[in-house]
Amino acid sequence: MKVLVDVNVLLDVFLNRSPWVGDSGKVWTANYERKIQGHVAATAVTNVFYIADRHSGHAIAMNCIRRTLSNFKVLSVNRAVLSRALALPGDDYEDNVLIRCAVVAGLDAIVTRDAADFAAAPLPILSPLQLIERLAQAT
């Protein structure tokens, strides 16, 4: 299963955010064990840096970026993705960009804790727990 991993799932692990770190950590484990193929949008990488830098400092933010780049495939964000994201309904342009990235890459789902923000997505939106449950049923 090929999935786009939302920024909040990455940050749950990086910033040890309770109570979500457990389920989000299992997404990371599933990716590491190749039960899923995890992807992030290029814009997510810069967002992770910005938030981690403000929260925990530059050195930790740089480590977050290194871990993201070594563990996930990065999807391009180009003019076509940005333009098509404008046409999607919904108030959150950033999330619309992620939806377009996932669609263009032919991914199977988006994994996020904010499913309501992805209501316009033409592919399944799963919480980390839903993804883990789906993987458990498949084995």
Instruction: State if pTM tops 0.85.
Output: yes
| Percent of the chain predicted with pLDDT > 90 | 94
Q: What is the CATH number of the domain that holds 10?
A: 3.40.50.1010
Over residues 105-122, the pLDDT tens digits come to 999 999 999 999 998 899
Total count of domains within the chain: 1
Mean pLDDT (the chain, rounded): 95
What one-character DSSP code corresponds to residue 122?
A: S
Beta partners for 41? 75
Q: Which residues span the domain enclosing 6?
A: 2-138
Computed over its alpha carbons, how large is the radius of gyration of the chain?
Answer: 14
Over residues 69-98, the pLDDT tens digits come to 999 999 999 999 999 999 998 889 999 999
Is the Cα torsion angle 4, 79, 97, 12 positive or negative in sign? positive
The answer to whether the beta carbons of residues 99 and 88 sit under 8 Å apart is: yes
pLDDT at 139 over 80: no
